[in-house]
Chain A
């Protein structure tokens, strides 16, 4: 509480989060899970090719696998960390007192989001030694690595804002969590299903000629962070999608725009709804 350059809510959130033993256990289990999967991947890769060594050419595949896995894990954790930030304060009866201070709603909401994002970034930073295994075998440029890290940060912030929004709007934490996970499921699994389905429809519609203009799979794919990650790491995916949809606009740019709108809208609504509108009863 000594640090007065930090926002008090952020300062308090970070103090509480890192004073809890559970946070460190979370990091431990996260790294254990990630490490075991990587070792498993190397083991399977070695056996599959009947060799006693890991092929350096498989390093790129492992990087993509690891990136997708990390994205999945981080997105899975995000609603758990953010969907209770406001509702749990309400349930613990600490929110009312906080709202009678002169802290602005923006400051409270942003601080809550930043503290959650900070923990998730710590998880990612803690996994860097595991990434070094990939670099050991080569095949990945530092640029690709930094793009992936930036992509994580952006996805975490967006899903974090969705979590904070449902936490603000829904009074019960458990219901807020279920809602946040449902939205996450739609934006990952739901959009995957729709993209595949719409691509199949497109294929059937054009009778096998996939060079037509059927933009709908693009609109669902641009909301799916896994498709966007693949498109960033494997540009051929972009070409294939362009063939199906006729849209040449990069998928990552569409993702950036749509997720920025989602994040901004979530933040604005959260800030507006945190306190009552005193002018309207």
Chain B
């Protein structure tokens, strides 16, 4: 579990992090979304005991990041947004080095490292020098490195940045696997749709302040109290369009393609149910009536336009 209390970081007059409060429960995957300079990496660096906060504090599994630094380091696996590797080390040696740095005995590492390499799909590269690996492979190796001491909390700063689409998909699959292993994961990304189907909850940070927190749909509801509905139907479009246009809670109705339309609905869930019921009773030949999943990127762009939600 991660608990952040009034965390503030100032560099002279510039406030990088402004009284951040956050609670992430055990086993949760929390996505941290924000533009460059929003304060994501600063937060992660403080949690990883690499940067001292100006005020406020944080706890990781009950350990204070300022007082119990060694215990915190044992609890976390940290992957920075930018990192280097030791050129002259082989992949397995790289993991051995970090394993030894956490005090894991050699015999134990011998069993552990092949498992980690398998998890990140690098078993075939165990004897290859680290600097010869591709960017995506290095990212995966760094992720394996962050897991070497079996931490309960993972702090992953933009783990998918700079990766090609295939490598992103691979990284996302590994993170899903880690989620099933019950790890508490704090992850940041600019690739917002990547987080949408992976995170239990997201936080939007802007100018050092957390301006929204919740599930993707909660944040969307928070924004507009409105939902985007997609309707697929058979038969004459004119009659269907006319029916929905007559509803006072419907707006921005657009016909997308033949037999499909989309509109924004501002009513309650009960009113939405009634709308669907009436459409069926009117024999409109509805095939499907569904809420479009919130596009996190849209939400992010909307939220970080400047309007504070808190």
Contacts and interface: CB of A to CB of B under 8 A. Distances in A.
A19 to B, nearest CB: 5
Contact of A279 (B66, B82, B83, B98): B66
A275 B49 contact: yes
A93 B67 CA distance: 26
Interface of A: 1-2, 4, 8-9, 11-12, 15-16, 19-20, 92-94, 96-103, 275-281
A101 B102 contact: yes
B158 to A, nearest CB: 14
A100 B103 contact: no
A90 B142 CA distance: 17
Contacts of A96: 45, 48, 50, 78, 80, 83
Given A1-B93, A101-B102, A103-B101, A20 B88 contact: yes
Contact of A102 (B55, B66, B103, B142): B103
Contact of B98 (A101, A278, A281): A101
Nearest to A18: B88
A2 B106 contact: yes
Contacts of B45: 96
Contact of A278 (B66, B76, B78): B66
B293 interface: no
Nearest to A4: B106
A280 B101 contact: no
A97 B52 contact: no
A97 B145 contact: yes
Interface string B95-106: 011101111011
13 contacts: A4-B100, A12-B97, A15-B89, A15-B93, A16-B88, A20-B88, A93-B80, A93-B83, A96-B78, A102-B73, A275-B50, A276-B49, A279-B66
Interface of B: 9-10, 45, 48-55, 65-67, 69-70, 73-74, 76, 78, 80, 82-86, 88-89, 92-93, 96-98, 100-103, 105-106, 142, 145, 149
Given A101-B102, A278-B69, A94 B83 contact: yes
Query: Taking chain A's interface residues, is the majority helix, strand, or loop, or is none over half, making it mixed?
Result: loop
Contacts of A100: 48-50, 73, 76, 78
Given A1-B96, A1-B97, A102 B52 contact: no
Given A11-B100, A92-B84, A97 B89 contact: no
B181 to A, nearest CB: 20
Contacts of A278: 49, 52, 65-67, 69
A101 B93 contact: no
A92 B82 CA distance: 10
Contact of B84 (A12, A93, A102, A277): A93
Contact of A19 (B49, B83, B88): B88
A58 B84 CA distance: 54
A219 to B, nearest CB: 39
Nearest to A280: B52
A183 B67 CA distance: 36
B80 A98 contact: no
A136 B51 CA distance: 59
B266 to A, nearest CB: 45
A4 B149 CA distance: 16
Nearest to A98: B101
B55 A8 contact: no
B50 A276 contact: yes
Contact of B83 (A4, A97, A103): A97
A86 B220 CA distance: 46
A281 B101 contact: no
B88 A15 contact: yes
B68 to A, nearest CB: 10
Contacts of B86: 12, 16, 94
A276 B100 CA distance: 23
A9 B93 CA distance: 12
A275 B46 CA distance: 12
A74 to B, nearest CB: 25
